Amino acid sequence: MVELAVVIGAGGGLGGALLATLEAGGTYGRVIGLRRSGTPPLDLLNEASIAAAAAWVAGAGDLRLLLDATGFLHDGRYQPERSLRSIDPAHMAHAFAINAIGPALLMKHFCPLLPRRGRAVFATLSARVGSIGDNRLGGWHSYRAAKAALNQLVRTAAVELRRANPDSICVALHPGTVATPLSAPFSKSGLDVRPPEEAARDLVAVLNGLQASDSGSFFDQAGAAIPW
Ligand SMILES: NC(=O)c1ccc[n+]([C@@H]2O[C@H](COP(=O)([O-])OP(=O)(O)OC[C@H]3O[C@@H](n4cnc5c(N)ncnc54)[C@H](OP(=O)(O)O)[C@@H]3O)[C@@H](O)[C@H]2O)c1
């Protein structure tokens, strides 16, 4: 069976660049990008669409890498909070639905497809601002809290995956500050904002270098561990 890499959120700034980088790398026999507007469509807010996409992937080959590049920081309705005063339950629920519950559903439906023998990776793009230990600036309550929840889900899934396959790897990755629609309103000049292609090359290098002993960890784009 052909070895598969699947990128979820392949229409996003980082997702598109990661798809292209994996295709060019030649490590996997086939690289598949899934997105809301693709075939099959995958919408994190619709569990049935995730289940259907996973069933489709199961028939396409041997899943060796599932890379989740979805995420939500702002849209026309919601902007990241600057203070406690701005907390809005609907905003917070949406941030959790996309950044934590959606990836948990990806784990639920795609992790059973990972082989029981040999290297098999589930990786999700988190964010350094989700680190509790690294939080010195405050603000962005919903995004930070949802990414911290995602990090805990990664750690918890890693324990379970290791029982099924000691060679499995489940990690959270921080891509750096990258020029995409998600970061555009917040990337001040002076910050090290990098093109998605460059960030994708670094992230794929980090992924390629991961060992089973790295499972359950949180790494930045240079492969350095980030505190939870
Ligand atoms: N850019 C940065 O500086 C930066 C920094 C730290 C962490 N990150 C993280 O990196 C990841 C990718 O972000 P990005 O910068 O590439 O942002 P982006 O260009 O805005 O991409 C976001 C992606 O999320 C997908 N998405 C949103 N809602 C969805 C839903 N309901 N169902 C399925 N997919 C959905 C979008 O899919 P559609 O294509 O269907 O809209 C898109 O592919 C995110 O997790 C983000 O938190 C980014």
CA 187 to ligand 1: nearest atom: 3
Closest C-alpha residue for ligand 1 atom 21: 12
Distance of alpha carbon 58 from alpha carbon 52, whole angstroms: 10
Helix spans in 115-176 (H): 141-164
Q: Is 15 in the pocket of ligand 1 (CB under 6 A)?
A: yes
Q: Is 177 in the pocket of ligand 1 (CB under 6 A)?
A: yes
One digit per residue, the tens of pLDDT, for the chain of length 228 reads: 899 999 999 999 999 999 999 999 999 999 999 999 999 999 999 999 999 999 999 999 999 999 999 999 999 999 999 999 999 999 999 999 999 999 999 999 999 999 999 999 999 999 999 999 999 999 999 999 999 999 999 999 999 999 999 999 999 999 999 999 999 999 876 678 999 999 999 999 999 999 999 999 999 999 999 999
The pTM assigned to this predicted structure is: 0.98
Sign of CA dihedral 88, 86, 75, 173: negative
Q: Which of 125, 150, 173, 177 to mutate to test the pocket of ligand 1 (most atoms within 8 A of CB)?
A: 125
Q: Residue 121 is inside which H or E element, if any?
A: strand 120-125
**3-class SS of residue 150:** helix
The token duo for 151 is 């990090």
Residue pair 196/14 in contact (Cβ under 8 Å)? The answer is yes
